[in-house]
Amino acid sequence: MFLYWIAAAAFSIWMLVDAVRRRAEPWWFVVILMFMPLGLLLPLGALVYFMAVKSRDYDFGRFRALAGDRRSSIGELSYRAQETPSVANKLAYAEALQVAARYGEASDEYRDVLRRDPTNRHALHGVGCCLLGLGKPEAACEALQKLLEADNAWADFGAALDYADALWQAGRQDDAIELLRGLVAVSNRINHRVALAHYLIQAERAGPARDVLDQALRDYEHSPTFVKRRDRKWAERAEKMLRDLG
C-alpha cells in the first residue's frame, strides 16, 4: 500500500508539472490538488486531467494503425473506413496513407475528418504534415498554426517542430527560429535545442548555434540516468554539430 501511495503521489505531481509547463487554465490546478491521493483510493483529479488534457499528447490513432493494426493492409483500412466511417477508422486509414507517402490521398481523408470536427488535433497535424510532403509549406503553416493555437504542446511538441519546418520551407526563417526559441524556453528537451541550433546554422548564425549546443550538452550531463539513455542519440548529434562548427 505504501508503494501505491508513492506511485499515486508521483502521478499527481507529474500532472501538476505538465499543467505548469502547458500553462493550463488555473482551475486545472484546483482539480488536481483537491483530489491528491490523501486517503482516497485513486488520484482522481490527476486522472481527470490526464484523460482530458495530457492524453491528447499521444497519437493513439497512429499507435493503433502502426501497432495494433500493423498487419492490416491499406486496402483493409480503406474498407473499414468506408464500411464504418468513424473518426478512428478514418484517422487510421489516413495515417497509413501518410506513412506510405501517399500524401494527397491522406490529406483528403484528414480533411474529411475536419469537415466533421474542425478542431480535431490528429487531423490538423496530419493535414499539415501531408501538405509539407506535397511541397506546400504555406498551406501547411495554416493548418499547423491552427493546431498550435488550440494546443501548443500537441504530440509532445512534435507539431511545433513540424510548424518550424513549414515556416522555414515557406521562407519565413526568422519566424521559424523565434518559434523554436520560444519552445526551448518552456522545454528542456535536448532534441528541441538541437532543432534550434540546426536552423541557426542554416541561417549562418554559428555563434548562437554553438551557445545553444553547449548549454544543451551541459544540461544533458546533469540529467537523470533515464533521460541520458533516452536522449543519447541527440547528445551525440549535438556533439557532432559542435565538431562540424569547429
Checking if the pLDDT of 215 tops 60, the result is yes
* DSSP sequence for 102-156: -HHHHHHHHHHHHHH-TT-HHHHHHHHHHHHHTT-HHHHHHHHHHHHHH-TTTTT
DSSP 8-state symbol, 68: I
Is the per-residue pLDDT at 233 higher than 50?
Answer: yes
Q: Hey, what's the cell of 181?
A: 526559441
Please state which CATH number belongs to domain 58-172: 1.25.40.10
Average pLDDT value for residue range 8-35: 75
User: Which residues touch 109 (CB under 8 Å, ≥6 apart)?
Assistant: 81, 90, 91, 93, 94, 97
What are 44-63's pLDDT values in tens digits? 777 777 777 776 555 444 44
- Tell me the three cell numbers of residue 66: 502502426
Give the residue from 160, 86, 153 showing the smallest Cα distance to 129: 160
Taking residues 193-197, report their average pLDDT: 97
pLDDT for 11 equals 80
Contacts of 93 (CB under 8 A, 6+ apart): 65, 74, 77, 78, 80, 81, 109
Q: What is the pLDDT of residues 129-165, one digit of tens each?
A: 999 999 999 999 999 999 999 999 999 899 999 999 9
What is the per-residue pLDDT for 35? 60
Angstrom distance (rounded) from CA 89 to CA 80: 6
pLDDT of residue 43: 73
Among the listed ranges 50-59, 70-79, 91-100, 116-125, which one has the minimum average pLDDT value?
50-59
The answer for 101, left when phi > 0, alpha when psi is -120 to 50, beta otherwise, is left
Q: Select the more confidently predicted residue: 187 or 6.
A: 187
All CATH 1.25.40.10 domain ranges in the chain, comma separated: 58-172
3 with 37: CB under 8 angstroms?
A: no
pLDDT value for 26: 74
Report the pLDDT value the prediction gives residue 8, as an integer from 0 to 100.
Answer: 74
